[in-house]
Chain A
């Protein structure tokens, strides 16, 4: 029986592998090419196979990668299943979903300033899933139903608000925080709502209906998108554009317009980079496309494809695009073996170099935001 339970948990965790977005720091992207600051990669590891994750750093100037920088600096683990992070100000903030911690790390030395153990004080939420940073605060979606706010000066969570079951990848858009309420643990009745939280008052301002199983908001600055994972069966994972509109009663709300089937998406130079690896048996078949919100056009994305993409990130400072990938184990991607990150040039099509990781499950990438 216990194995059955673990399988259940493993399935849910597998779902969570994907829920750490390619762009956790979904702030409006302003391309400023040419400046090369490090890009951080969180490897989730594989908790149930006792494989530890960690924090890796890609140096774009040297085209190198440093793995397990936190453990090297602090001589202890970052925690089980690093899930989300932001680099903001002089610090890096990392949330771990199994260990239930927020680790606050010095961006230069990687030494830990503070570790917040969420399970010891669960009223503000536990199981961090995604982060955005703005105006001195880090906002964290907690998978047990909260959006929490961490004051970067006091390094404490000063406020939180209940947003609904299993909020996933949040985005900052037009000064508001958009929260997808996935209800991902409520199989098979996944959620169909999202909400908007005012970051100053930390109150839910509005709720609106979206597609099945909303898991990731993506802001390009001027446009907002939402990835809904469907039910992993007959309802496909789909990318929507979210625009203001009216409902049947002429009330102001947000409406969803279908873009295409997609399993991964990220803001990319004002456009959206899209990967669709649909749920079919046998060898994976991936479709790479880009979407231009201005022209509403979908285009083929001619790119040197990785083995099995698990995350996309566009670094607006350097203009480079990053795709994290599993390695293949025979016909199948491996959740146990160390993955890698493909670093592409500013066109997003030409591979600059490949950065090999030392841990499995690369799932979250981010770079410094002032």
Chain B
């Protein structure tokens, strides 16, 4: 996904990865891979804020420059050399590929199956390679987010305004200098924000932006960063989004077609962060983050014939603070640690007359305390070892009568090794999970222990060709969520963990073909996944459903990507980016069941996305699209539940203007140009044609 000409950022925020440490001896590799790293650094400059330009041009700051490069330019993040597939989209690509929001970004990654309930207020989750959204972990600036209640993270809360990069690792990535928890899911989506100031400049920077879009959407944002030009810095980020989301929809009912609006969909979302960094010595850094998020939204519910009335409201508040410290211990060891406290509150209200007192008012409070420490050791030149230990405590309280106040203690340890020898890279990891649950329903508690192995190997067969072959395997378990365990009637305390195994075989290729085709990258991966003990809802009796370990699913698929740059003239170029996925997800629970060997619900056989960018001196133009083939809303694939395929196409225009010391970035988007009406989730229509314009001033 990541082109050689695009800056590659650390997937886990600004903390040094193992590659950062390896890059301490960066100069040797720089010589070997000069042709790749030089353009990378040059193109990275604008993305690192204006101060970075002076940083790289200053001959007196060489030492610090290297330090910064340790963070920003990490080997193994490109996805081409990694032993397992890794796909990264950074801030520059968001612009050059015409990516419009977080769900659009996810659709540009292969193997991703997005569940989008429509509009900017609709929940968005991702399932990777058919394993289910609960197998996708989300890491936000170095620490994994947890939703102990439902087990899946709603990505709609993250905007692109403050985004540094999005990186999806399928299986285990090559970076072993990460917390044990970061490898506890089948795949991880790492969200990295622009958080740190330019540490080399004492001049503060200010970024102010505003975006307006169809359906009453307005989104102002502000970012301020400052440092003392040496070892201390901070940044402050804030944004607010209001959207009515009352987009037109078409309801087809037999021969009748009615044009209505998606009412009761408005959102009011606020988000603020404060980040601080202190570098007491050359090899150490202390970082702090305080995060606040508040979203009040109306829920339109599924489209219902003859009835558009909905009184549902959802309020979500989330606050967390985290403190991380990393340091070098001599030449051989490095250590990093992180502590985090997370508090999330959710209130669901439905003022429907069916409820007692005319209202359903459910309040849930989730808390998490999390600590992690990782030790890196480099006993030999090409060998790196890490040991990481994580502990976190989750609890859930609610105002529901009969709630059982469950909590979970999770203790994870990971022992990882990475060996790099000439043109071969190998990784291996063992993850020990000890998880203890307790609740009023299970007063004696229940403990689950499991060792989950993973391994990967990547080899470059030819010395003079940037061509890699890779094989990786990962075995992982997913603990049942508190909803699955304890929700009255629906939950079952007897559930066992769901397990998933992933086998990937792939190849990557990168080459400069000619002066008019200076860069082309191709990746092709085939995979075979198995899910066992899949937790599914089955009818318990004629009144209700309950959760049980029943399902088995086999997923076989193919992911392919292409990235290329064509130089048309000195100041004109075309950037091509595309991905395609084939995914055959077959339930294999019981031949007597109706879904036997059909296609898992909401999983398309074919999906893909593309973008074509014309970069020129005037206004850069991007045409882009994403789509998938037909799906079914249930796994037994009965014909009436078929949801048609779609291809949504958009056009983006953007240009940066220099205004003395400032830069004004202007962007306009026309989305769903052909007004394609489609659904990703049945009865949750997606918006038709719409527009968006944004202005961002950087000082």
Please pick, from A3, A18, A280, A330, the residue contacting B543 in the complex, using a CB distance under 8 A: A18
Closest to A45 in B: B640
A357 to B355, CA, bound (A): 33
A145 to B358, CA, bound (A): 10
Is A353 interfacial (CB-CB < 8 Å)? no
Residues of chain B within 8 A (CB-CB) of A64 are none
- Does the CB pair A144–B305 fall under 8 Å? no
Interface segment among A71-79, A151-159, A253-261: the answer is A71-79
Contact A334:B309 (CB < 8 A) given known A1-B149, A7-B487 = no
CB contact list, B417-431 vs A, under 8 A: none
What mask results when residues 343 to 383 of chain B are scored 1 for a CB within 8 Å of chain A, else 0? 00010100011111000101010000000000000000000
What mask results when residues 471 to 496 of chain B are scored 1 for a CB within 8 Å of chain A, else 0? 00000000000010001111000000
Residues of chain A within 8 A (CB-CB) of B253 are 76-77
A1 to B123, CA, bound (A): 9
- Does the CB pair B544–A232 fall under 8 Å? yes
Q: DSSP class of A's interface residues: helix, strand, loop or mixed?
A: loop
Is A252 interfacial (CB-CB < 8 Å)? no
Residues of chain B within 8 A (CB-CB) of A166 are 354
Is B538 interfacial (CB-CB < 8 Å)? yes
A78 to B489, CA, bound (A): 31
Contact A101:B307 (CB < 8 A) given known A75-B256, A333-B542 = yes
A262 to B537, CA, bound (A): 25
Closest to A5 in B: B348
- Does the CB pair B682–A50 fall under 8 Å? yes
CB contact list, B283-310 vs A, under 8 A: 299, 302, 304-307, 309
CB contact list, B577-615 vs A, under 8 A: 589-590, 592-595
- Does the CB pair B489–A336 fall under 8 Å? no
CB distance from A189 to the nearest CB of B (A): 7
Is A303 interfacial (CB-CB < 8 Å)? no
Residues of chain A within 8 A (CB-CB) of B541 are 263, 277-280, 284
Please pick, from A144, A187, A333, the residue contacting B352 in the complex, using a CB distance under 8 A: A144
CB distance from B440 to the nearest CB of A (A): 13
Interface segment among A27-35, A83-91, A114-122, A289-297: the answer is A114-122
Contact A2:B117 (CB < 8 A) given known A7-B487, A50-B682, A336-B634 = yes
Please pick, from B314, B353, B537, B634, the residue contacting A145 in the complex, using a CB distance under 8 A: B353
CB distance from B144 to the nearest CB of A (A): 18
- Does the CB pair A98–B304 fall under 8 Å? yes
Interface segment among A8-16, A170-178, A342-350: the answer is A8-16
A77 to B634, CA, bound (A): 20
Please pick, from A185, A309, A326, A330, the residue contacting B593 in the complex, using a CB distance under 8 A: A330
Is B464 interfacial (CB-CB < 8 Å)? no
A100 to B638, CA, bound (A): 26
- Does the CB pair B490–A11 fall under 8 Å? yes
Is B436 interfacial (CB-CB < 8 Å)? no
The interface size bin for chain B is 35 or more
- Does the CB pair B255–A75 fall under 8 Å? yes
Closest to B402 in A: A188
- Does the CB pair A115–B682 fall under 8 Å? no
Closest to A165 in B: B356
Contact A329:B255 (CB < 8 A) given known A11-B489, A17-B542 = no
Is B683 interfacial (CB-CB < 8 Å)? yes
Residues of chain A within 8 A (CB-CB) of B123 are 1-3
Please pick, from B254, B346, B352, B543, the residue contacting A229 in the complex, using a CB distance under 8 A: B543
Residues of chain B within 8 A (CB-CB) of A367 are none
Is A219 interfacial (CB-CB < 8 Å)? no
Closest to B679 in A: A50
A263 to B540, CA, bound (A): 14
Residues of chain B within 8 A (CB-CB) of A48 are 302
Residues of chain A within 8 A (CB-CB) of B352 are 144
Residues of chain B within 8 A (CB-CB) of A51 are 633-634, 638, 640-641
Residues of chain A within 8 A (CB-CB) of B117 are 2
Contact A332:B539 (CB < 8 A) given known A2-B123, A7-B487 = yes
- Does the CB pair B356–A308 fall under 8 Å? no
Residues of chain A within 8 A (CB-CB) of B640 are 51-52
A78 to B538, CA, bound (A): 27
Closest to A72 in B: B254
Is A127 interfacial (CB-CB < 8 Å)? yes
- Does the CB pair B545–A187 fall under 8 Å? no
Is B152 interfacial (CB-CB < 8 Å)? yes
- Does the CB pair A14–B305 fall under 8 Å? no
- Does the CB pair B543–A122 fall under 8 Å? no
A146 to B17, CA, bound (A): 64
- Does the CB pair A330–B590 fall under 8 Å? yes
Closest to B312 in A: A5
Contact A185:B314 (CB < 8 A) given known A4-B487, A76-B256, A77-B254 = no
The interface size bin for chain A is 35 or more
Closest to A98 in B: B304
Is A313 interfacial (CB-CB < 8 Å)? no
Residues of chain A within 8 A (CB-CB) of B246 are none
What mask results when residues 185 to 213 of chain A are scored 1 for a CB within 8 Å of chain B, else 0? 11111000000000000000000000000
Please pick, from B152, B312, B316, B542, the residue contacting A308 in the complex, using a CB distance under 8 A: B542
Contact A15:B543 (CB < 8 A) given known A3-B150, A98-B307 = yes
Is A143 interfacial (CB-CB < 8 Å)? yes
A309 to B255, CA, bound (A): 34
Closest to B642 in A: A50
Residues of chain A within 8 A (CB-CB) of B314 are 1-2, 5
Contact A232:B489 (CB < 8 A) given known A4-B483, A98-B307 = yes
Residues of chain A within 8 A (CB-CB) of B348 are 1, 5
Residues of chain B within 8 A (CB-CB) of A310 are 542
CB contact list, A304-348 vs B, under 8 A: 308-310, 326, 329-337
Contact A337:B636 (CB < 8 A) given known A3-B150, A99-B304, A165-B356 = yes
Closest to B494 in A: A281
Residues of chain A within 8 A (CB-CB) of B633 are 49-51
- Does the CB pair B152–A3 fall under 8 Å? yes
- Does the CB pair A79–B306 fall under 8 Å? yes
- Does the CB pair A277–B354 fall under 8 Å? no
CB distance from A257 to the nearest CB of B (A): 24
Is A126 interfacial (CB-CB < 8 Å)? yes
Is A241 interfacial (CB-CB < 8 Å)? no
Residues of chain B within 8 A (CB-CB) of A100 are 306-307, 309
A14 to B541, CA, bound (A): 9
CB distance from B591 to the nearest CB of A (A): 9
Contact A263:B542 (CB < 8 A) given known A51-B634, A74-B254, A75-B255 = yes
Is A47 interfacial (CB-CB < 8 Å)? yes
CB contact list, B183-223 vs A, under 8 A: none
CB distance from A230 to the nearest CB of B (A): 10
- Does the CB pair A77–B305 fall under 8 Å? yes
Please pick, from A77, A98, A186, the residue contacting B356 in the complex, using a CB distance under 8 A: A186
Q: Taking each of B150, B542, B592, which has the highest tally of chain A beta carbons within 10 Å of its own beta carbon?
A: B542
CB contact list, A14-61 vs B, under 8 A: 14-15, 17-18, 47-52
Is B656 interfacial (CB-CB < 8 Å)? no
Residues of chain A within 8 A (CB-CB) of B593 are 329-330
- Does the CB pair B638–A337 fall under 8 Å? yes
Q: Taking each of B117, B307, B314, B593, which has the highest tally of chain A beta carbons within 10 Å of its own beta carbon?
A: B307
A143 to B117, CA, bound (A): 28
Closest 6 CB pairs of A and B: A144-B353, A50-B682, A76-B254, A330-B593, A75-B254, A75-B255
Known: A76-B256, A144-B352. 20 other contacts (CB 8 A): A1-B154, A8-B362, A8-B490, A10-B545, A18-B542, A47-B302, A80-B305, A101-B307, A126-B353, A144-B354, A165-B356, A186-B355, A187-B488, A232-B543, A263-B541, A263-B543, A284-B541, A310-B542, A330-B590, A336-B594
Which residues of B approach A to under 8 Å, CB–CB?
117, 123, 147, 149-150, 152, 154, 253-256, 299, 302, 304-307, 309, 312, 314, 316, 346, 348, 352-356, 360, 362, 364, 401-402, 483, 487-490, 537-546, 589-590, 592-595, 633-634, 636, 638, 640-641, 643, 682-683
7 CB contacts below 8 A, A to B, read A2-B154, A75-B256, A99-B307, A189-B401, A263-B543, A264-B542, A332-B539
